[in-house]
Structure 1
Amino acid sequence: MADFTILTVCTGNICRSPLAHLLLRDGLADLGVTVHSAGVGALVDRGMPDQSLAIARSLGIVDAEAHRARQITADMVREADLILPMAREHRAAIVELVPRASAKTFTMREFGRIASHITDDALAQAVQDGATPADRMRLAVEEIGFSRGEVPPPASLEDDNIVDPYRQSDDVYAQSTAQLTPAVQQAVSLLRKAAGGL
């Protein structure tokens, strides 16, 4: 495989996972990374709600209106190099669908939390045998997996989830975005460093 593929996942695939998908896509656009999203209970063919579109625009995303929700499939899971569900319940559904996907599946906030603890030296050592940027990113995902048990857990398991804003107030949309964007930034930073071999 030449490209590195990321799959983001939430429930309906209209709020959290498409926003994560679009931010990751834009943040990794020059690295040959394919990013897409799906839902475990997708509102198939539905677009993002107005609040999510407004948030996407405020974050510099210019084509959020084009998004249409898709239902997750086992093939999507198998083909992805990294799977980033928005909550632990989505991670459980993914692993139930394809048990072998466990090693490459992290909640968005979990991945960001672990990534923030990986030193540049440790990352450089982990990815040094990667022949291509995509190979190095795959090795970085392995390193995140190896570090899963070594990084201190969150104070509460809920802290690895991103709150679902669907049909909630603007304040909940803002809270969800505030939880999502730092995790995306941490993931983009780690993957960009890995791709470049530091």
Structure 2
Amino acid sequence: MKRILFVCTGNTCRSPMAEAMLRELAARNGVSLEVRSAGVSTVNGLPVSPHAAETLRRKGIAHTGQSQSLTGDAIGWADLILTMTSGHKRGLLQWFPQAVEKTHTLMEYVNQDETVIEHIHELEQLYSEMHVKQALGQQLSAAERSRLLALEREIPSFDIADPYGGPLDLYRSCANEIERALLKLLDKLRQE
């Protein structure tokens, strides 16, 4: 059984919606998964935001969890880690570089463009080299910096915008974007 961890900032909006929706979609489609969520900048025990709860309720999906901060145990538990933004992914990989092979943004993971996927892998390698060199008091070469900046410009944004503090319609739009990606995710998981 595949274990999937969704990650966002506070674990009160995007990642709990993704967790609840994937759990429901997988159950409806007979796909066996374990799903959790966590936040990179939260405390344990916060309730899901009222608009996120209402958005899920309108989709007929219950969510009873509370916020969880991202831990090494959660990273170790997961077979696949899907973040809501590239910033979440970069931060997570700074703290847990051993998770590089299983960590993606949700939107990049369901992307089918092979050229973009190759560029993402190259960019991740450059980020990893940059972090190692920074830890050693070194810097990327001019050529490496130039290539990193070129890749950042070429790769489309795979971020799902944070609806926190916005109106209910913004949460519904966010949930719909996540749901479309989750349907692609289920298709991809069935093919594995």
> In structure 2, what residue type is equivalent to 1:37?
S
Q: 8 Å contact 1:8–1:36 — kept in the other structure?
A: yes
The yes-or-no answer on 1:148 pairing with 2:117 is yes
- Equivalent residue number for residue 52 of structure 2: 52
- Tell me, yes or no, if the aligned pair for 2:55 and 2:168 is still in contact at 8 Å: no
Q: What is the TM-score with the length of structure 2 in the denominator? A: 0.74
Partner of 1:22: 20
**TM score, norm. by length of structure 1:** 0.72
Where do 5+ consecutive residues of structure 2 fail to align?
121-150
Letter in 2 for 1:38: A
Counterpart in the other structure of 1:67: 65
RMSD: 2.5
Separation in 2 of the partners of 1:183 and 1:155?
23
- Structure 1 residue runs of 5 or longer lacking an equivalent are 119-145
Q: Aligned-pair distance for 1:24?
A: 1.4
Q: Give 1:97's aligned residue.
A: 95
List per-residue Cα deviations over 1:116-150 (Å, max 9, x = no partner): x58xxxxxxxxxxxxxxxxxxxxxxxxxxx98217
Give the Cα–Cα distance (whole angstroms) in 1 for the partners of residues 81 and 4 of structure 2. Answer: 6
Shift >6 Å, 4+ stretches: 153-156
Match of 2:117, as an amino acid?
A: R
- Could you tell me which of 6, 9, 22 is aligned with 1:8? 6
User: How many corresponding residue pairs?
Assistant: 160
Measure how far apart 1:156 and its partner are.
7.2
Query: For residues 105 and 31 of structure 2, what CA distance do their matches in structure 1 show?
Result: 22
User: Structure 1 104/178 Cα, relative in aligned 2: closer, same or farther at 3 Å?
Assistant: same
